[in-house]
Structure formats: structure tokens, C-alpha cells
Structure 1
Amino acid sequence: MIIQNLNEYIQEAEQLAKEVFEEIHSWPELGNEEFKTVTLIGRKLKEMKLEISRPLATAVTADIKGKGNPQKCIALRADIDALPIAEEAMVSYRSRRAGLMHACGHDAHTAILVGLAQVLHRLKNVLPCDVRLIFQPDEEGKGGADRLIETGVLKGVDQIFSFHVKPDLMAGTIGVQYGTVHGESRMLEVRIKGTPAHGAKPDLGRDAVYGAAQFISLCQGIVSRDLDPVKAGLISFGRIRGGEAGNILAGQVELEGIIRGEDGEVCDRLCQRIRILARGLSQAMGLSIDVKFTQGYRALINDRRSAEQVKLAAGDKAVEINRKSMTVDDFSSYLQLVPGAYFFLGCGFADRENSGLHTSRFQINEKCLATGIETLAQICMKTQYR
């Protein structure tokens, strides 16, 4: 379908998206605290005469009705939360909140969806489907997707799409992936209890710090020796708490970590081996070792037909990606219920080094905003009735 004025609409939407992006970037908000962000989103959508809904205090949705009586509804999701990282990127719109930054590109995701709303609203007389825009909080925390789903945000939705900026892809490209895109995770908490004693009399105590060191080291052996080498899995520890003084054996140490696997089966295998390790090590060292696992995000697996739609929409901008990632994203919760796809939006600069996601110098190439708007618009315009 040749859409008259589409390029003009995208150029105008790009300007809107840049304004929204820079405003959100300058005032980042953590998960479930995105009050100023959703106020801005709501205001921009209302200026387009769109009716908005607030299913959660820090979430916004809006429906754009297609022509006639469309037989299909496509949902598009953007995450909106920031990270507790102090920004070092020297940009004119840098964060004005100490210790907070949009270091994962959610500001760009949000701005693109706002710009897209303007394009689709102008195309509503030729839009072949209904479109639901979902602005979701707390992707970086405990996951806002599940709470939004509980409000009925997927009611009537036939297909769903989302995307993520990718700094190692140049701006102007779209990364398309089939099958598993992101892995699955389990959160891990470990409490190791021993007996405190003076450092000069270690035989009178049971050293919880030494036990923690052995536990962490042996967990890496699980990955290298208990996991099928063709399977991808990780056990990482990011926090250790314990001890009172440098010359006293600690009576208790607490560890926090994360288990990652390419699928739920791998995660289950790693959890099983950690339980066995904890029992054996506690007996060998005279310690009490308690482990607790909490389900994290599910594996994110693209529906093949939906991924093909992304590739078709991206045209010559499409780049096929064949590498799984052990990062996670709660968009997987939507895909448990509705077919869809998650793609990557190149945001890198061709003439300089690109800092990675979740780093203090992360910066997007704003040229990616128009590419994101155009790709999503083409997904909607090229959709077929169910």
C-alpha cells in the first residue's frame, strides 16, 4: 500500500519525538515513580484528541481505532523507567536528577511511541487495524508487565510488538531475530550462618565469609561442569553483606545473585544443583546455608510470523540477528499470552565509540527515532486481518 504523506507525517512526528525524548531524558524516574513521565505522555496524547487510560498510577494506554470495523488489534509497548546511574554523557539535555539516568533507552522507546501515535492518528482513515499503545512502568525492577496484564491491558489484543535500542547497531537499522531473543532468570538469595570468633582463634568458630567464598566459587563449577556445554547459562552474584570487623570471623553472610539460562529448563537445572551444593557445603563446613529462588522474567521467544512482519516492515533497513542474549525483558510476559515479536532499533553512531546499555556514558543517536516510528507504522499499515 502506498500511503500518501507518510514521509511528511514521519518527519513531523520525529520532531515531536525529539522534544519528548529530551524532556524525559532530562528528568529520569525510577520504576513505579514515573509520575512526571506519564503526565507528559498523557498530555501529548490528549493534544492529539486521543482518549487515554491509566490502568496503573504510572502507566498510560491509548487506543487508536482503524477504519471501518477492523478485525484485528495490535498492541505496541514501550517501557518508561530509568536507572539509578549517574550520567556522565555530555549532552545538552543530560539528567537533572543526581544519581538517575535513562541509561537503557526507555526515554527513546517512549518518545517513539508518542511520535507514532501522531502518525497513526493522522492515518486512521486508512489504518487496517486497531492499535493499542502501552506505556509500561518498572521494566527494570520487578516487572510492570505482569501488573498491567492483570488490569486487562491485553483484552481484545491479537498481536503485540515491542523493541529496544541497540548501540552496537548503527542508527537507521532494525535488528530482526527469530525464536529465543532473551533468556530466562531466577533471583537468588543465600544466607550463610556460622559462628563468630576472634580472628586469632579460627578453630573456635565457623567462618561465614570463608563459606560464602567457597559457595560462590563452587557455583561457577556448576556452570562449567553440570550444564550441557551447548546450553547457555550463568550464575552471578552482585551483592555480599556480612561481618562486623576485619579481625573477627563473621557469623553471617548474605548473598544476592541471579541465575540466567536460555530457557526455563536450564534455570531449573542450575537451581537444582545449587540446592545440592548448599546441602553438601553446609555439612562439610559446619555452616547453615539457606537458599531461596524467586522466578524472574521468562524467556522472550518471538513468534516467527510476527518476526517476519517486522522484517517486511523494516525493508532494506532489516539486519538479521542470530545471537541469543542472557539479558532479560518482561515483554516476555505479554508473549506468554499473545503472539508477537521484539526487535532491536539501531541507535549507534558510525563515527565514534558507542557506550553500552546501563553505563554512565550511554547515548543514543537521535536519528533512530524516525526509523523506529516508520518501522512501527509500517507494521501496523501492512498488517493483515486475522
Structure 2
Amino acid sequence: MNIENLANKYKEHVINLRREFHRFPEESWREERTSRRVKEELQKIGVDFEATAKTGIVATLRGKNPGKIVALRADMDAIRVKEATGAEFESENEGIMHACGHDGHMAMLIGAAKILKELQNEWDGTVKFIFQPAEEVGEGAAKVIEEGFLDDVQGAFGIHLWSDLPCGKVSVEEGPRMACADIFKIKIKGKGGHGSLPHQGVDAVVAASAIVMNLQTAVSREINPMEPAVVSVGALKAGTRFNVIASEAILEGTTRCFNEEIRQQFPKILERISKNTAASFKAEAELEYIFATPITINDKKCSSIARGSVEKIAGSDAVVLMDKLTVTEDIGRYFEKIHGVLAFVGVRNEKKDAIYPQHHEKYTIDEDALEIGTALYAQYALDFLNYKGL
């Protein structure tokens, strides 16, 4: 029996698992029930596993002979969104929802483990199934790496169910696919005073407001217009009362880009703009900058392998091109260490009301995509293990 047939054989089981995970979503680093259920499923399959990154799991399956090692990865965490889908399996954890497809990722990876276990005597090498927590906060991948679970791995593969692609379509092209997501905080220090006597103080609110506006020139006037980049201030906190000149203000925001050189320039640009702008108002500014989640870059050879895998299970028409995204994915940390590719598997279907974007309260998927993703996980693993160029 081939991979396509096995994926179809386990389709109902994968759908049921996805719905169960969806009913009981858990936030980053709190995936306790989710972790227990994944372990129970792996025990049923007969795959050895061990814990990683607090609530994560790494399962290992060896083929008939030694060979290369490939990692298949699924993320586990949900986000703080109050669900409004009205589904029978709607979230039972108030205010928390699987609104990004991670429920499907886990279910598909379990399905792939079942397939590869059934075919265990037909392939050489080793497959690691990584169920990774805390992707939404950009911390889980780093912990998995820190604990050494990629040290002996030659390649990694992940899937992201994606609402902008029609069900039946898959994107696996090479190069930058998802942006980095770095974090900045700017503290502005002024001098307090009475709102009726502004000349006696140094207004941190005015200085902060000017910094917000001037930061927009970081992209529009300092970055090559052919290079996508984002500087967004998401929070401005200042003041205690309507008639008090604020002595302090705090700005918090994010930068995004697909170019590592630009990424390294951002702290210098933001610091210069914020300090000089603040000084023009007789205030002071201090920048805190965190390099958080790296750029997700698909390896050329791995993308070629993945394209072949898609064509085997769904035909050449299933492969589509998709614009890169300024959202982020911490699987990029894996790809900094080893060769890898992230596939985007379409879940959009207007007839099934699967039309809402990731993180939307009505986000849902065409569950037919789960069969494609399950097969793709398994097919890519075998194709990578058989590939001679890595």
C-alpha cells in the first residue's frame, strides 16, 4: 500500500485528532493535556519518544537499515482568541483557540508516524517526529535545539496549514518565506510638571509621539525600496493624569524583514532616530532591542525534494507559488542549523466557510487538506532519506 492510500486510510483518525486538539487548546508552555494525548497516540503506534522543551515530545522511528536522519516538526500551542466558529468541536477552554492550524499540524504528524511505522521495513534511515511547544511566542524551537535534538539531524521539514491558499494547493518554493520578528522597547525620559505650565517640564508624550512618526522613515528613507521591511509601534504607554506633563513614556514594537543585513542594521537605525528625536525635545531615549525569531529560509535542495514529494501525492498542478509573508515562524531557527523547508498547505474553501485568516476568531479549515499534509509529511521523509545530494 502506498503513502497516498495510507493517508486516506487514516484520514478519519487524523480529522478526529485535529478536532480533539481543537476542543482543548492550550497556550504556549502550558500544553500539558495536548502533550499527554500526543504521547498516548505515539504509544499506540509503537514509536519511542522522549520529552523536550517542557511540554514537547520527540519521537524516533528507525527504518530497516541505518541511514540519514530527518526531522518532521509540528507545533502544539494555541493563542488567546475567543472562538466564534460555532463548530461542534469549538474550544472548551474559554478565550483560547487553535486559530493558526497547530491542531491540524499535530494530527497530521501523528498520521505520518502511523504511515511510516506501517512502512518501516521498506525504508532506511531515521525519522524524528518533533512536537514542539511555544511556537506562538517564538521560544520553543530554541529550546529543542538547546537540548540537542537536532545535533544528529541532516534535514528538517515542517508544514503550515495556510488560509490564503485553496485546499489542494501547496507552496514549497526556495528562499526567504517568512520574516524575522524582532522586538524593541524605547524608554523616553522627560521632566514632569503641571499641564497648565508645559514650559516648566519636558513632555515625554510629545517626544514619544514624534519618535513614532520619525520611525516610519526607517523603512521609507533608509531601506532599499526593493527590500520588504516593517517597523511597527504597537504600544505607547505614558502619563498618569489629564493635567500632568508625563515624565516618562515607553514605546514597544516590532521589526520585520527578509534580509539579514537589514536585520542587523535596524537597532542602529532605531537608536539613532529615537535618541536624536528625543534630544530635539530636551528629552532622553534609551533603546532595548531583542533579536527574537529569525528569517525562515527554505533551502534550495530541500525545496526541490519537497516539490517532488507534492507532485507524487497530489500531482504537478498542486504546486503553486506564493508570496513570502511578513508573519513569522520559529522553525527558522531549525533552518539556521540544518537544511530544511517549510511547506504551506492550502486549507481555504469558500463552500465550507474556510475563508478567514490565521488568528481570526472564525478561523477554520477544509479538513480535506489534512490528508494531503499527512501524506506530504511521510513522503518528504522518505524522499529526503533517499536523496543523495545532502
TM interval, shorter chain, is over 0.9
Asked if the contact 1:70/1:385 (under 8 Å) is kept, the reply is no
Counterpart amino acid of residue 245 in structure 1: R
Matches within 5 A, 1:128-207: 128-207=124-203
Deviation per CA, 1:221-243, whole angstroms, max 9, x where unpaired? Answer: 22111111111111011122221
Helix, strand or coil at the partner of 1:229? coil
- Whole-Å separation in 1 of the counterparts to 2:63 and 2:343: 24
- Whole-Å separation in 1 of the counterparts to 2:147 and 2:382: 28
Is residue 368 from structure 1 mapped to residue 357 from structure 2 by the alignment? no
Asked if the contact 2:15/2:107 (under 8 Å) is kept, the reply is yes
Look up the match of 1:32: 29
For structure 2, the 5+ residue unaligned runs are none
Matches within 5 A, 1:1-386: 4=1, 6-67=3-64, 69-315=65-311, 316=315, 318-351=318-351, 352=353, 354-383=355-384, 384-386=386-388
Counterpart amino acid of residue 31 in structure 1: S
Counterpart amino acid of residue 183 in structure 1: A
Asked if the contact 1:21/1:108 (under 8 Å) is kept, the reply is yes
- Whole-Å separation in 2 of the counterparts to 1:77 and 1:131: 10
Asked if the contact 1:129/1:380 (under 8 Å) is kept, the reply is no
For structure 1, the 5+ residue unaligned runs are none
CA displacement at 1:353 relative to structure 2: 6.3
Helix, strand or coil at the partner of 1:364? coil
Q: For the aligned residues, what is the CA RMSD?
A: 1.5
Helix, strand or coil at the partner of 1:177? coil
**Change in CA separation of 1:239 and 1:41 when aligned onto 2, cut-off 3 Å:** same
CA displacement at 1:343 relative to structure 2: 1.0
- Whole-Å separation in 2 of the counterparts to 1:353 and 1:164: 15
Counterpart amino acid of residue 321 in structure 2: I
Helix, strand or coil at the partner of 1:321? coil
Deviation per CA, 1:328-381, whole angstroms, max 9, x where unpaired? Answer: 111111111111111101011143461111111111111111010111222123
- Whole-Å separation in 2 of the counterparts to 1:198 and 1:166: 52
- Whole-Å separation in 2 of the counterparts to 1:268 and 1:51: 41
**What is the aligned-residue identity percentage?**
28
Asked if the contact 2:99/2:360 (under 8 Å) is kept, the reply is yes
CA displacement at 1:217 relative to structure 2: 0.7
Moved more, 299-308 or 5-14: 5-14
Asked if the contact 2:211/2:278 (under 8 Å) is kept, the reply is no
Counterpart amino acid of residue 264 in structure 2: D
Asked if the contact 1:71/1:129 (under 8 Å) is kept, the reply is yes
CA displacement at 1:5 relative to structure 2: 5.0
Asked if the contact 1:72/1:385 (under 8 Å) is kept, the reply is no
- Whole-Å separation in 2 of the counterparts to 1:304 and 1:11: 30
CA displacement at 1:138 relative to structure 2: 0.4
TM-score, normalization by structure 2: 0.94
**Change in CA separation of 1:276 and 1:56 when aligned onto 2, cut-off 3 Å:** closer
Runs in 1 of length 4+ with deviation above 6 angstroms?
Answer: none
Counterpart amino acid of residue 238 in structure 1: G
CA displacement at 1:322 relative to structure 2: 4.9
Counterpart amino acid of residue 381 in structure 2: C
Q: How many aligned residue pairs are there?
A: 382
Counterpart amino acid of residue 263 in structure 1: N
Helix, strand or coil at the partner of 1:16? helix
Deviation per CA, 1:117-150, whole angstroms, max 9, x where unpaired? Answer: 1111111111233211000000111421111111
Asked if the contact 1:178/1:322 (under 8 Å) is kept, the reply is no
Counterpart amino acid of residue 147 in structure 1: K
- Whole-Å separation in 1 of the counterparts to 2:17 and 2:306: 25
Deviation per CA, 1:167-192, whole angstroms, max 9, x where unpaired? Answer: 11111221122111112232101111
Helix, strand or coil at the partner of 1:369? helix
CA displacement at 1:324 relative to structure 2: 2.1
- Whole-Å separation in 1 of the counterparts to 2:325 and 2:333: 17
Counterpart amino acid of residue 32 in structure 2: F
**Change in CA separation of 1:91 and 1:322 when aligned onto 2, cut-off 3 Å:** closer
Helix, strand or coil at the partner of 2:338? coil
Helix, strand or coil at the partner of 1:268? helix
Counterpart amino acid of residue 27 in structure 1: F
Deviation per CA, 1:33-54, whole angstroms, max 9, x where unpaired? Answer: 1011010000001011111111
- Whole-Å separation in 2 of the counterparts to 1:172 and 1:324: 19
Deviation per CA, 1:47-86, whole angstroms, max 9, x where unpaired? Answer: 111111112320011111112x232111100011111111
- Whole-Å separation in 1 of the counterparts to 2:192 and 2:299: 54
**Change in CA separation of 1:86 and 1:299 when aligned onto 2, cut-off 3 Å:** same
Moved more, 284-293 or 8-17: 8-17
Counterpart amino acid of residue 23 in structure 2: S
- Whole-Å separation in 2 of the counterparts to 1:184 and 1:291: 19
- Whole-Å separation in 2 of the counterparts to 1:284 and 1:235: 22
- Whole-Å separation in 1 of the counterparts to 2:66 and 2:350: 41
- Whole-Å separation in 1 of the counterparts to 2:3 and 2:301: 25
Helix, strand or coil at the partner of 1:156? coil
